[in-house]
Amino acid sequence: MILADRIAIVTGAGSGIGRASAEILAREGAIVVVSDLERERADATVVRITSQGGRASAMAVDVADDAQLRALVDDTIARHGRIDILHSHVGVQVNGSAEQVDPAGMDRSWDLNVRAHFIAARLVIPHMKNQGGGSIVITSSNSGVQLDREMVAYATSKHAAVALARQMAADYARFNIRVNALCPGWVDTPFNEPFMRQMGGRDALEEYVRTQIPMGRWASADEIAEALLFLASDRSSFMTGQALVVDGGECL
């Protein structure tokens, strides 16, 4: 196991990519703190992990609330004494052009797609410095390295998430803290509903996936989790400040 006894926090781990991330980290030996807005979903992820012999605990966390993020980090330190991996995953998709997105939608995009990652990283970095290093992975999107039609709030915030990871990587490399951005392409989850509506429904999105992605299909959450494992583990020990795109060639 490449992560034996390491302590990992995963936000948004109650479903989709976040759940797959928590599961693969636990499979490789990490003790995973599973957080999600809904405690029931976090508990369900923990059951999936423990039923396979892994170790995990659950916590309900609204990442838009600084105090709840602090409680997540403080509780993890109190229980385990260290934090080796942070996968800050929670995000939101708000569709529309500049004329269509109201300021509240832009604010929510910034709060969840940028600010929450900043606060989570800011809270774990002192502990990682004290222990001699760690790995932080921020979920951005392939929309963080390209542009999408009429997705101004989403694309802007996802580009900012990549910049955030790169800046923190430059600032903290000397402390052996690596910070990278994970940039998934299309995974078939409810997260896509705003873009699906904008495109005109499920059939239109399916046609886009078939015709515009060179590999012609959706990614699975497990495929994205494999990339997360690479970034979280020593397999990427000389890699920091990168945006790892996993999108079936859509950005080509």
Q: Give catalytic residue positions.
A: 154
- Token reading at 138: 């921020």
The neighbour count for residue 203, using CB atoms within 10 Å, is 10
Compute the distance between CA of residue 215 and CA of residue 47 in angstroms, rounded to an integer: 34
Residue 51: strand, helix, or coil: coil
Compute the distance between CA of residue 208 and CA of residue 212 in angstroms, rounded to an integer: 5
∠ CA 245-164-118, rounded to 5°: 115
Strand partners of residue 138 = 88, 181
Q: Please, where are the H alpha helices in 112-232?
A: 116-131, 152-172, 193-199, 202-212, 221-232
State which amino acid sits at residue 86.
L
Compute the distance between CA of residue 21 and CA of residue 141 in angstroms, rounded to an integer: 15
- Token reading at 134: 């760690």
